[in-house]
């Protein structure tokens, strides 16, 4: 079990003084910015653009056993809307971040195909592109929270999920170029990183909606997201969306790689394991107020959070302020898209007494987000993957917010 993440402070912003330069009013010209207290002089942004010095939210990294492996968590508590900036998108790698020259990168497609093919990045970009806003989530998101509340912030409990606009070529286009042979049922996706990440993907899913992505949020995907090319498998556990994609092999059976045998399987109480549990089920979390925040005084607050489902679109989000005794429908802020984060809000008048805040998501298939207790009763405590139980935040009479389990 991973250790608790250090708390992240939020920097306050003081107001700027606005002393006028003597004589400015008479001359009807703005004051000289270089002589006004608290006003800085514009500097060169390198041609790419910088965020304000007063915006300090960053991803946080968990300690791992090796320096080659890393988890970096999105600061959901600071998120605005539904899209995650590329620089704050969560990141998971198993063997370092590969450095790949796109002009030399090739994607090889072989196995049970009529004609083995290789594609350069230029080749791939000649095909018609598709753009979709979709969430990505690690199936280990929340793995510390099964038995007891462990991490203090929503960044720690839920920060392994993010939403971006992804642009690329449908995988079906490339598979059709190579031609699938009769009996083809699975493919192997292989990454070009030091870990040589590999996962088996069902052909039905590959042909339905998988994407060979080279763009993210209006620019090339970043190195930590798989530059220059990654596979994107919508609604499935993030480990399957292989980064630095270099090879696809088509077969009539799954490949039983390390990442789908000893890892990324769900251990059950009877000693068996669920394999190929790909789908990320409906989930939601309140991001404000959430762990380690402080409500200064009783009064009006707007509860806000995110909901998502690998099955499709979010249909409904309910919020409780009394630990599940009663529920109210939250407002869903559009666009409400399939397999995408959806922002929800609910007005709340806090009376200064202890409260337990929870959210519960229902997706378009009718699936309802369960409690953590229901998941533990069914699956025990040996599994670390696919925790989508209802998150509880306790608001103390002092206004301090903490992570709790409440059933």
Residue extent(s) of CATH 3.90.420.10 domains in the chain: 106-266
| pLDDT higher than threshold 50 for residue 19 | no
- Please answer whether residues 150 and 217 qualify as being in contact, where contact means their C-beta atoms are separated by less than 8 angstroms: no
Per-residue model confidence as pLDDT tens digits over 38-96: 555 556 788 999 999 999 999 998 777 777 778 899 999 999 999 999 999 999 988 88
Per-residue model confidence as pLDDT tens digits over 330-383: 999 999 999 999 999 999 999 999 999 999 999 999 999 999 999 999 999 998
Give the Cα separation of 142 and 365 in Å (integer): 24
Dihedral pair phi/psi, residue 131, rounded to 5°: -120, 130
- At residue 319, the 3 state secondary structure works out as strand
| pLDDT higher than threshold 70 for residue 34 | no
| pLDDT higher than threshold 70 for residue 205 | yes
Give the Cα separation of 396 and 374 in Å (integer): 26
Residues 14-53 as b/e (b if ≥16 CB within 10 A, e otherwise) read: eeeeeeeeeeeeeeeeebeeeebeeeeeeeeeeeeeeeee
What does the pLDDT read at residue 42?
56
For tokens 């925790």, the residue is: 387
Give the Cα separation of 154 and 158 in Å (integer): 5
- At residue 402, the 3 state secondary structure works out as strand
What does the pLDDT read at residue 25?
35
What does the pLDDT read at residue 95?
86
Give the Cα separation of 322 and 142 in Å (integer): 23
Query: pTM of whole model > 0.85?
Result: yes
What's the mean per-residue pLDDT of the chain? 90
Give percent helix, percent strand, percent coil of the chain, each to the nearest 5. Answer: 15, 35, 55
Fold of the domain spanning 283-404: Immunoglobulin-like (2.60.40)
| pLDDT higher than threshold 80 for residue 3 | no
Give the Cα separation of 169 and 127 in Å (integer): 7
Q: In CATH, which of 3.90.420.10, 3.40.50.620, 3.40.50.720, 3.60.21.10 is domain 106-266?
A: 3.90.420.10
For tokens 């099964």, the residue is: 146
Residues linked to residue 404 through DSSP beta bridges, in sequence order = 392
What single DSSP character describes residue 368?
B
What does the pLDDT read at residue 2?
36
Residues linked to residue 286 through DSSP beta bridges, in sequence order = 305
Residues linked to residue 310 through DSSP beta bridges, in sequence order = none
For tokens 């959901």, the residue is: 76
- Please answer whether residues 189 and 248 qualify as being in contact, where contact means their C-beta atoms are separated by less than 8 angstroms: yes
What does the pLDDT read at residue 16?
33
Region 220-231: mean pLDDT is 97
- Please answer whether residues 2 and 145 qualify as being in contact, where contact means their C-beta atoms are separated by less than 8 angstroms: no
Sign of CA dihedral 192, 198, 204, 209: negative
Residue extent(s) of CATH 2.60.40.650 domains in the chain: 283-404
Per-residue model confidence as pLDDT tens digits over 238-259: 999 999 999 999 999 999 999 9
> 149 — alpha (psi -120 to 50), left (phi > 0) or beta?
beta
Region 110-134: mean pLDDT is 98
């Amino acid at each position: 079990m991973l250790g608790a993440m250090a708390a992240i402070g939020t920097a306050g912003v003081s107001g700027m003084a606005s002393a006028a330069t003597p004589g400015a009013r008479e001359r009807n010209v703005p004051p000289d910015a270089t002589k006004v207290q608290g006003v800085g002089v514009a500097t060169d942004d390198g041609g790419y653009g910088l965020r304000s010095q007063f915006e300090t939210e960053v991803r946080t990294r968990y300690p791992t056993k090796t320096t080659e492996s890393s988890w970096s968590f999105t600061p959901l508590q600071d998120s605005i809307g539904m899209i995650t900036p590329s620089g704050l998108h969560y990141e998971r790698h198993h063997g370092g971040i590969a450095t790949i020259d796109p002009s030399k990168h090739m994607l090889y497609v072989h196995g049970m195909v009529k004609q083995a093919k290789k594609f350069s990045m230029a080749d791939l970009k000649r095909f018609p592109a598709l753009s979709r806003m979709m969430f990505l989530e690690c199936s280990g998101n929340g793995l510390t929270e099964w038995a007891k509340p462990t991490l203090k912030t929503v960044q720690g409990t839920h920060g392994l999920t993010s939403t971006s606009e992804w642009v690329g070529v449908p995988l079906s286009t490339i598979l059709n170029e190579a031609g699938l042979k009769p009996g083809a049922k699975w493919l192997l996706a292989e990454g070009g990183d030091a870990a040589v990440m590999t996962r088996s993907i069902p052909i039905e899913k590959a042909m339905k909606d998988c994407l060979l992505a080279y763009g993210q949020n209006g620019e090339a995907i970043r190195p930590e997201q798989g530059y220059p090319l990654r596979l994107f498998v919508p609604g499935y556990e993030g480990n399957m969306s292989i980064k630095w994609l270099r090879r696809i092999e088509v077969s009539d059976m799954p490949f039983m790689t390390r990442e789908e045998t000893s890892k990324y399987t769900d251990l059950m109480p009877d000693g068996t394991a669920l394999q190929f549990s790909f789908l990320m089920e409906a989930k939601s979390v309140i991001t404000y107020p959430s762990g380690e925040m402080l409500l200064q005084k009783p009064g009006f607050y707007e509860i806000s959070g995110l909901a998502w489902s690998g099955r499709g679109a979010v249909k409904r989000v309910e919020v409780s302020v009394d630990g599940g005794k009663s529920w109210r429908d939250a407002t869903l802020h559009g666009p409400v898209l399939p397999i995408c984060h959806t922002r929800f809000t609910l007005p709340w008048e806090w009376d200064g007494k202890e409260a337990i805040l929870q959210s519960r998501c229902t997706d378009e298939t009718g699936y309802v987000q369960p409690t953590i207790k229901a998941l533990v009763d069914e699956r025990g405590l040996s599994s670390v993957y696919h925790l989508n139980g209802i998150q509880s935040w306790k608001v103390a009479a002092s206004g301090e917010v903490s992570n709790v389990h409440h059933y």
